[in-house]
Structure 1
Amino acid sequence: MFCGIVEEIGVISGSTGGPQGARLTIQGTAVHEGLREGESVAVSGVCLTVTTVNTDRFAVDVSPETLRVTTFGTLSIGALVNLERSMTLDQRIDGHLVSGHVDGIGTIVERNDVGNSIVFQISVDKGIMRHCIVKGSVAVDGVSLTINQILRSAFEVAIIPHTAEMTTFGSKNVGDSVNIETDMIGKYIERLYISSRY
């Protein structure tokens, strides 16, 4: 479990495998400190298990399903990724509860500078959009964000300067793909409601 507060930007330094499964090597510093095999790390919003830890990098295995439903199917060496270690029970939740189980991929369709912020419009499919509400939480590439506006097939979020500096959002542009995870509480409520009708 994560909270969507990115600890650092990492770099994909190695990649092996293909559509049937891949192993990624990720270089980082803050997240790497004290990291052990078997622990969970959110990599751009995707919960992955650490399989190997070396001096300044760690490796994760990526399943075919994860390659299919996330942006990892198109990641290349040198790509920047948001990194967050899993929560502990004694820490504050400064974002919102994020499972690291991505619902799908969104596409940035607009990027505008508004005051001190960067406002992004992100297009998603109907299955994801139905779980988005104004002022609700959404994890985009692992970053906990508040939805400012709902459009026909997209939602809008604002990135403050600190978030732009500490995450990959500072370098995101129109056309870029991002991992989307909607609020899990809303999904549970929907599931319970549907089940109660039968």
Structure 2
Amino acid sequence: PDSYGVSAIESVPPRWQPGESSYRIGDMKLYKQFDGELQKQLAWTLLSELEKGRYPTFFYNDWYNNRDEVAVSISSVNFRRAYDDFMSCVNALLPFSFDDIAYTVLNHEAESEKLTVASQRKLKQISDYLQVDNDLELVLVDAYTDSLGARGPNKELTEERAKEIQQFFVERGIDADRIRTVAHGEDRPIKSNDNELNRQINRRVVVQLSKPSMIEL
């Protein structure tokens, strides 16, 4: 359009549904020199109306003559097959995004080498994501422990824990070359080591995912 406007959207019944009435489902803003666009919730509503066999219809004033109204309908004919394919694709998507797992802290149970239940769940999410996203530049696994015990054994312990996480990914088909492990031992604590709760927080493995930088030419 040459100027700003608003298109009203109504759900219009098909001719083979006599007695059914039209009803308004929302508006779509029309911006100068841009295509119209629906917000997420309204788009889902429109799909739902098509699924019912109804005709979502856009009403707006003619750009060349404001006395005339234009009505554009989306037909539900042949919609079902495409909609089923679309829903199959949606249902196959992971229920989390890159941002949800890009920086993940894994913790171990008290006095155990076993990860907490929440950490095991997070670890599986990361491995599921790695299997479908080949654009990741690096998977960095940093392992830390508390200051109890000697420095040398603590360093070895974090090396083992980092390698365990790497092996977990490799066993699920992730290329080992995409994973880098770093063992920090008791260095870089985030809490003082003066009580068990703080020491448990310091005993951690951090998994970071990174993507190549986008360079604008």
| TM-score of the superposed pair, with normalisation by structure 2 | 0.20
Larger radius of gyration: 2
| TM-score of the superposed pair, with normalisation by structure 1 | 0.21
Normalized per residue, the structure richer in helix is 2
Q: Which structure has the higher relative contact order (CA within 8 Å, separation 6+)?
A: 1
